Amino acid sequence: MVNGAYQALRLGDVGGPGGIVLTMVPDDNALLDVALGEDGIMTRLGKGGIHLSCSTVSPEVSEQLAALYEEQGSHYLTANVLGRPDVAAAAGLSIYLSGHPDAKQRVMPLLRALGRHIYDVGENVALANAIKLGANFLILAALVAMGEAAAFVEGHGLDRALFLRSMAESPLFGGAVYEGYGRMIGEQDYVDVNFPVPMGLKDTHLILEAAERIGLTMPVAELALQHLLAAQASGRSTESWAVLAEFASAPATLSVSFGRNAR
């Protein structure tokens, strides 16, 4: 027991009838497995229980799970978060919450212990997923732009690390993306694996698939996908997804044909 918490060694030991279970897993398949698999969360919660999912998954999977939980009288909520591990440790996350109103009120004390800003974005559980994918797209676009800008100034004989550091320190480009990822791209050091290439690929596929369903084209996301696939093909999957910036500044990578469904 640590700070009032007990370690559960089996999924079946997590939660109980009418309880609340919070999950954060890497992708759609993992979420479906912990929710619907053998001795999964849904069967453990029963009537009145709440599954609070913080995972970055497809809007469709959230809608599927919400419907299944509702059939048994329980609730599935989506609570997507923004913030790196240090922000989470300081309870400073931004949290986007969607789902049933009564269930949201019940989990609010838990979320207030995790985040500084909590946004109620509606009853449709897919809405919080859409916001998280939109946020990750902004990061993708920034990584591509920083990679190209670093190559541009370096081509003129300037220090790329100095350039990106000065951008992060300016009033225009401050913040975790330009400060943290900008340092990696400037120093060409991508050993921080809090969010490696495979996770970036997963989210980019989710963004493009969700965009396709609403008839939207996203050229920057398509470009970022090619750069991430090039990084993967070059054996750099264990590095931070910021490594795509190395390929964003290498035009030769664009001559390689990658299908969107490549994984």
Active site residue 47: no
Alpha helices in 119-175 (DSSP H): 126-155, 160-169
Choose the catalytic residue: 47, 104, 132, 202.
132
The residue behind tokens 């093909």 is 233
Computed over its alpha carbons, how large is the radius of gyration of the chain?
20
| CA distance linking residue 163 with residue 66, whole number of Å | 47
Strand 115-120: give its sheet, edge to edge: 20-23, 50-53, 75-82, 93-98, 115-120
Which residue, among 84, 245, 253, has the nearest Cα to 180 in the 3D structure? 84
| CA distance linking residue 143 with residue 249, whole number of Å | 11
| Active-site amino acid positions | 132
